[in-house]
Amino acid sequence: MIDAFRRNLDSGHASLIGYLTAGDPRPEYTVRYSEALIRGGVDVLELGAPFSDPVADGITIQASTQRALEAGVTLREVLKIASEIRNKYGTPIVLLSYLNPIYRMGFNMFFKEASSRGVDGVVVPDLPVEEAAEFRVAAQEASVATVFLASPTTSDRRLDTILKASSGFVYLVSLLGVTGVRSELSAEALRLIDRVRARRERPYIAVGFGVSSPEHVSMLAKKGAEGVIVGSAIVKIVQENLSDPERCEARLEEFTRKLKEATRFKD
């Protein structure tokens, strides 16, 4: 995953991270839709493990989570899907899961299986960095990157803690609230990028939540984000094409290609 960031930066691009809820609307579609994103230019794939109480997510991803749960998708099933995608395409994979399913599996068992399945990094939106010591040790022993979130209201002291704990990239939340399609980026998001870039020691920056268009991607890349995460706008395409997977694939590839073109920050 880190190599993908480096290659893109060397070529004058931010890395494009595309999100799908694994198993939405059924497990067999996730590999197909992931392939469409990869053809369109996604550099890192983020797979969301469905959970019954996705507190950080807006209505679009909440609905996709419900569809995946109704299809019987579990965390172990998501890991199997990740393995199939990684073995087939080699694209780096970040897994997003809420804490409860990971805790129930056990940190050591989860990270051992995640590593064997080719997962590069893990994001847990409801795990505070201050309570993540055991989680971080298990991740480090399995050579899986940890990705923590910082928001515009994060204090400088806590931001430094988050940056030290993030071994893959730091996930900058671009707004106050939940995920979802937005028409504009907040000024707070741009200031947050400046705050992180001012730190001498830091991981790569990736910005998500509300990033919905090529214009958003271009603005963030030129501002200094080394990665840009697009989730709800991609999941919305899946939602709009539940009965037509072929059309969904075509639209996902087309939209992702436009996003990728917008990641260039220098000629």
**Domain boundary assignment for the chain:** 2-261
Q: Is the pLDDT of residue 38 over 70?
A: yes
Among 198, 206, 210, which Cα is nearest to 15's? 206
The mean pLDDT of 187-197, rounded to a whole number, is: 91
Q: Which residue has the tokens 């480090």?
A: 140
Strands (E), the chain: 15-21, 44-48, 93-96, 121-123, 145-147, 149-150, 169-173, 204-208, 227-230
Q: Which residue has the higher pLDDT, 178 or 145?
A: 145
Which residues belong to the active site?
46, 57
CA-based end-to-end distance of the chain = 24
Q: Which residue has the tokens 């399609």?
A: 181
> According to the CATH classification, is domain 2-261 in 3.40.50.300?
no
CB contact at 8 A, 228 and 217: yes
pLDDT band at residue 56, thresholds of 50, 70 and 90? confident
Q: What is the pLDDT of residues 153-178, one digit of tens each?
A: 999 999 999 999 999 899 999 865 44
- Other CB atoms within 10 A of residue 53 CB: 10
Q: What is the pLDDT of residues 59-78, one digit of tens each?
A: 999 999 999 999 999 999 99
pLDDT band at residue 149, thresholds of 50, 70 and 90? very high
